[in-house]
Amino acid sequence: MAHFARVNNGIVEEVIVAEQDFIDNYDCPNPGTWVQTSYNTLGGVHRLGGTPLRYNYAGIGYVYDAVADAFYIPQPFNSWTLNKTTYLWEAPITYPTDGKEYTWNEDTTSWDLIE
């Protein structure tokens, strides 16, 4: 079994588990194209050492870039940029590594400590 995302106008609308034969022969009533996705792929790396597939596992509402053949989440904040090596969004300031928890503040474009 594999995971497939139904993509319509570049947006993932559904994710299912199915055999390739089912996808090939399924007369889906909804518009879109079925694209395989890997549950074990994140940031272009397969967590079990296998071959990564389409940079990230697809989720409902994710973007599918057919030219790059990549799934990624919609832009979370206007100041963040998409890393075209991993297809993960990056803040303009690196997340602190002091072991504390932070939340992004778009107004100040900085990380705020969670008290």
Residue-by-residue pLDDT tens, the chain, 115 positions? 999 999 999 999 999 999 999 999 999 999 999 999 999 999 999 999 999 999 999 999 999 999 999 999 999 999 999 999 999 999 999 999 999 999 999 999 999 999 9
Q: What is the pLDDT of residue 45?
A: 98
Q: How many Cα neighbours within 13 Å face the side chain of 59?
A: 7
In sequence order, what DSSP letters do the residues of the chain get, joined into one string? -EEEEEEETTEEEEEEEE-HHHHHH---SS-SEEEEE-TTEETTEETTSS---SSS---TT-EEETTTTEEEPPPSSTT-EEETTTTEEE-SSPPP-SS--EEEETTTTEEEEP-
Q: pTM (2 decimals)?
A: 0.92
- 22 phi and psi angles, rounded to 5 deg: -65, -45
